[in-house]
Structure 1
Amino acid sequence: MSAGVSALADRFFAAVSHGDLAELDALYSPHVTVWHNYDDVDQTRVESLRLLSWLAAKAGPLRYTDVRRTVLDDGFVQQHVVELGGRCEGIRMPAMLRVFCDDRHIRRIEEYVDPAPLNARLAASAEH
């Protein structure tokens, strides 16, 4: 199963990078939840897709660098640096995701990231 989970992870990060909502929709289980450390809220499938669409529009394309992934029995853990594009070019945000999945669908994501650099850039660009 580890090869299948790794392939799913590759597809997931490629879809996030390019704002491919159709692919993300296909990868998410019907009842997926996405939790973020910065707000301690479980997002629904619809909320997560809306946020990822917004992120792609404001800061895409995203690039994942310094990737370190460990496949587990019930998913994977990935540490990486997200490099933002668009009007957020130059921002780098270290992050870690714990993803619960099988080799076909993601059931839960727990994301640890500090969005302060992104929020500051977007606030500054809105003032101009």
Structure 2
Amino acid sequence: MTTNDELVDRFFAALVAGDTDELRNIYTPETTIWHNTGGVAEDFGQQSVEDNIAMNGLIAELLDDHRFDHIRRGHVEGGVYQMTVLRGVLDGQPVEHYMAIWIRIEEGHITAIEEYFDSVTAAPVVTAVMSAMPAA
């Protein structure tokens, strides 16, 4: 296991645990997070660290028994590419949200994330999160 693997594993464990302090330790203050939204919710196409932490906190609250199942991880210069499925239960219904993620890693921190997801499988999660987010 490489240092990048350990960091990415810590990242996903923090997401599941809703550990905002650990996420702040993993990110840098300048980390950028981008999602293709597939027309589902343009409001979080580009996110700051704090917006991303808030969104992931809502996912942790809204999805019962949620977890990330990693299909494949590839090591590339500057980071990792990973195919992942977010699984859980939302309003009594099972959810499987497929995504491909590019994670840039510099000096032991995640400095950028680009998440490409299937807008069909993401729609229930995105809709629930957008509904739960406080109005700006």
Cα distance in 2 for partners of 1:3, 1:55 equals: 28
Report the Cα offset of residue 60 of structure 1: 4.6
**Pair 1:27-2:26 in alignment:** yes
Aligned pair in 2 of structure 1 residues 73, 93: CA closer, same or farther (>3 Å)?
same
Matching residue of 1:104: 108
The letter of the residue matching 2:54 is R
Q: Secondary structure at the match of 1:13?
A: helix
Matching residue of 1:117: 124
Q: Please identify runs of 4+ aligned residues in structure 1 that moved more than 2 A.
A: 85-89, 117-120
Tell me the TM-score normalized by structure 1. Answer: 0.83
Matched residues, percent identical? 28
| 8 A Cα contact 2:35 2:114, kept in partner | yes
Equivalent positions of 1:2-17 (< 5 A) are 3-17=2-16
Cα distance in 1 for partners of 2:69, 2:111 equals: 24
Residue of structure 2 aligned with 1:70, choices 71, 74, 79: 74
Count of residues in correspondence between the two structures: 122
Gaps of 5+ in 2: none
Gaps of 5+ in 1: none
Cα distance in 1 for partners of 2:108, 2:93 equals: 32
- Structure with higher strand content: 2
**Pair 1:50-2:49 in alignment:** no
Equivalent positions of 1:79-94 (< 5 A) are 79-85=83-89, 87=91, 90-94=94-98
Q: Secondary structure at the match of 2:62?
A: helix
| 8 A Cα contact 2:102 2:113, kept in partner | yes
Aligned pair in 2 of structure 1 residues 46, 64: CA closer, same or farther (>3 Å)?
same
Tell me the TM-score normalized by structure 2. Answer: 0.78
Aligned pair in 2 of structure 1 residues 37, 103: CA closer, same or farther (>3 Å)?
same
Cα distance in 1 for partners of 2:89, 2:25 equals: 25
